[in-house]
Amino acid sequence: MLAALRVRFGARHAAGDAAIEAAALRSDRFRQAREPDWQRLDMIVRQLEAGRLRRLSDADVLDLPVLYRSAVSSLSIARATSLDAAALAWLEELVRRAWFQVYGPRQTLSGWARDFFGGGWSAAVREMALDVWIALAVMVAGGVMGWQLVASDPQWYGVLAAIPADDPRVPGASRAALRGVLFGHAQENFLSTFAASLFGHNAQIAILAFALGFAFGIPSLMLLVQNTGNAGALLWLYHGQGLTWELLGWLAIHGTTELFAILLAGAAGLHIGRSMAFPGPLSLLDAAAAAGRRAAVVMVGVVLMLLVAATLEGFARQLIESTAPRLAIGGAMLVLWLAYFYAPRRKRGPEA
């Protein structure tokens, strides 16, 4: 009986060895049949990762999707077979890398930033020229309206300026009290917190002006009127005490950037609303989608401008205690933005 068990165990052992050998043979044949395609795919992916697209032949570029799909199919089969762990891990990594080249983003972050700052942002602003002019006219009208309303009835000041209860900037305030808001804060140590708070507040206004554009741009324009009406009321107050230039310097150091950003945000919202109201030859959805893509580019830049404005308002305005330098910085920033957006540019020729 013992001999019979030994014979039966030996037969089973031999059958198991034969099955393992057969599986390994199938695995080797599977790998040998497909490995040349894997190696070619790996070569193409390496060239693309290194930015050497021009070294690839037309056939390599055209075959890339085919080789990728073949590798994905091979990977699904390999996971169900006895392909060795190292080869399986290499194939999985190859498929991930190939997916990125076939379906991944076409630009790196540095490439996107180069295109955005090198012309994409300014081009989007120029394409919204009519909306920018409309928004600018509305903001100027809002400032004039704010001045006129408080000049005719000072009770309007509390409505337009929205000044906190403990703020000294109220009708009837002395010249010294009003001037004290503009100067004498260089030694305060809360500037970083103040700058962050200003950025959050201004970003809310800009995003709201943009987001309300879907209602044909009307709420965006109303928000612009409200924002500059505040400035007009404040100018009236300081003008009455002979502090017009001092206030303008206090506002200009950051305001040329901040108000420009809010102007662009309002124009972006208006651009979407106007495209919905007057889609032209496009369908309503297509016109809104095209305007939305353009406006989104502008809004990315608006956020960056508000960061600059918050830094100038939270630090430079508090640390610089003279009106002339404040006006100079504000004027220089305005010239910088105008030059960036509207200065003539030489078109880039085709790459060699």
* Alpha carbon separation from 337 to 115, 125, 302, 311, 333 (Å, rounded): 17, 11, 12, 16, 6
Q: Which two tokens stand for residue 264?
A: 């662009």
Give the domain ranges of the chain. 11-103, 110-342
C-alpha span between 341 and 275 (Å, rounded): 22
C-alpha span between 244 and 147 (Å, rounded): 13
Please give the pLDDT value at position 168.
Answer: 86
- Give pLDDT tens digits along the chain (352 positions): 555 545 554 545 444 444 444 445 456 677 777 888 889 899 988 888 887 878 888 888 888 888 888 888 888 877 777 667 777 888 889 888 888 787 766 666 677 788 888 889 999 999 999 999 999 999 999 999 999 999 999 989 888 877 777 788 889 889 999 998 888 776 655 555 555 555 666 777 777 777 777 676 788 888 888 889 989 999 999 999 999 999 999 999 989 999 999 999 999 999 988 888 888 888 888 888 888 889 999 999 998 998 898 888 878 887 888 999 999 999 999 999 999 999 886 654 444 3
Please give the pLDDT value at position 71.
Answer: 86
Please give the pLDDT value at position 332.
Answer: 96
Q: Report the predicted TM-score, pTM, of the whole model to 2 decimal places.
A: 0.68
Termini Cα distance of the chain:
86
